[in-house]
Amino acid sequence: MKTVVITGVSTGIGYAAAKIMIARGFRVFGSLRNEADAQRVQSELGEHFSPLIFDVDDAQKIAEAADCVREALKGETLAGLVNNAGIAVSGPLLEVREEDYRKQLEVNLVGPFLVTQAFAPLLGVDAELRGEPGRIVNISSVSGIRGMPFLGPYSASKFGLEGYSESLRRELMLFGIDVIVIGPGPVKTAIWDKAEEVDMEQYGASPYLPMLQRFQKVFISQGRDGYPAELLGEMICTALTIAKPKVRYAAVKGTLMEKLLMRVASARTLDKAIAKMLGLRKPA
C-alpha cells in the first residue's frame, strides 16, 4: 500500500483529498493542529488514516512527524507529499498589522518549505529507501498568479509559493521527484461562513471601508459558488498518480469570455475593471 502525507486535513480541500486517496487504496498521514480534530478525522476516515499533530511553522514538531512516518514506511519511499495547509489574511496593505502579515508568510510560504525539507528524504532523497521517488503537490491559488485588492498578504504568499515550487521542481530533478502546483479559484468550504462574520469595524476609520464591504460581498458570493472541495481532491489524486502530470493545474470558474479577458487584457485594463467594480477611484 502506497503512502502519502497531506497537511491541513481537518476540513476542506485537505480532508477531501485524504478521503479520495484512501478510497483509491492509499494510506494517508494527515496533519491537524489539535487532538480533537485528529480524533474526529481518524474516526471518519478509518483505519487507513493516521493523524500527525503539528503546525506547519513548527520545525521541531514537523521533524517528529517525519520520523513517525519514516518508521511506518519500513524502508519504503513516500509516494506523495501535499502541502495544503494555509490561511488567508485580508485587508488593505497599508493597514494590515505587521504580525498578521508575518503570520501569513510563515504559514503559507515558510510552512511548505519546512515540511518539504523534513519529508524530502522519504520521497527519495534518501537513496537507501526502496521504491520509486514520490511527488510533491503544492496547493497555490488563482491569487498566486493574479493579485486582487485586499488579498495582498495572501497573494504575496501564493506568488512566493509558485516561484518556490518552480525552483524546487528543477532542483529535485536530481532525485526524480516531481513537483506539481494546483491553483484553484474559490472552493466551496466552511471558510465562507467565517468570512461573512469578519468584523469590518477595525477599518471603521479607513477610506477603504466602503470598498472592503463591497469586496467582502463579492468574495463570499464567488466562494459559495466555487468548485466543490471534492473536485480539488480528485485533482490532487490525478497529480499524484497520472503517468505524466502537468506542472500546474488550475480550477477556476467563470465564463469563457471572463477567462479570455483575464488572459489577454492588459494589466491597466484589468486595473480599471476592478476599480470600477469595487469603487477604487480617487474622488474628483
Residue with cell 469563457: 256
Q: Write down the mean pLDDT value for the chain.
A: 92
For the chain, the domain total comes to 2
**Could you tell me if 221 and 276 lie in one domain?**
no
Band of the pLDDT at 256, cuts 50, 70, 90? low
The string of pLDDT tens digits covering residues 21-47 is 999 999 999 999 999 999 999 999 999
The string of pLDDT tens digits covering residues 137-196 is 999 999 999 999 999 999 999 999 999 999 999 999 999 999 999 999 888 765 555 555
pLDDT for position 190 = 58
**Could you tell me if 171 and 279 lie in one domain?**
no
**Could you tell me if 135 and 270 lie in one domain?**
no
What domain range includes position 102? 3-253
Q: Give the three-class secondary structure for 3.
A: strand
Q: 254 pLDDT exceeds 90?
A: no
**Could you tell me if 228 and 275 lie in one domain?**
no
Band of the pLDDT at 83, cuts 50, 70, 90? very high
pLDDT for position 264 = 82
**Could you tell me if 225 and 265 lie in one domain?**
no
The string of pLDDT tens digits covering residues 94-108 is 999 999 999 999 999
pLDDT for position 257 = 55
The pTM is what? 0.94
The string of pLDDT tens digits covering residues 191-231 is 555 555 556 778 888 999 999 988 888 777 776 678 899 99
- How does 142-167 read in b/e, with b if 16+ C-beta sit within 10 Å? bbbbbbbbbbbbbbbbbbbbbebbee
Q: How far is CA 209 from CA 92, 96, 97, 195, 222, in A?
A: 9, 13, 16, 16, 20
**Could you tell me if 199 and 221 lie in one domain?**
yes
Asked if 154 is an active-site residue, the reply is yes
Distance CA 172, CA 181 (A): 14
Per the structure block, which three cell numbers stand in for 242? 497520472
**Could you tell me if 178 and 260 lie in one domain?**
no
Catalytic residue among 15, 154, 164, 249: 154
Q: 130 pLDDT exceeds 70?
A: yes
pLDDT for position 281 = 85
**Could you tell me if 127 and 211 lie in one domain?**
yes
- Cα radius of gyration rounded to whole Å, the chain: 20
Q: 50 pLDDT exceeds 80?
A: yes
**Could you tell me if 219 and 261 lie in one domain?**
no
Contact 182, 139 (CB under 8 A): yes
Distance CA 106, CA 70 (A): 25
Alpha helices in the chain (DSSP H): 12-23, 35-45, 59-73, 98-105, 111-120, 152-171, 191-196, 209-224, 229-241, 256-264, 267-278
**Could you tell me if 239 and 276 lie in one domain?**
no
Domain of residue 42, CATH code:
3.40.50.720
**Could you tell me if 247 and 279 lie in one domain?**
no
> Residues 232-241: what's their mean pLDDT?
97
**Could you tell me if 240 and 262 lie in one domain?**
no
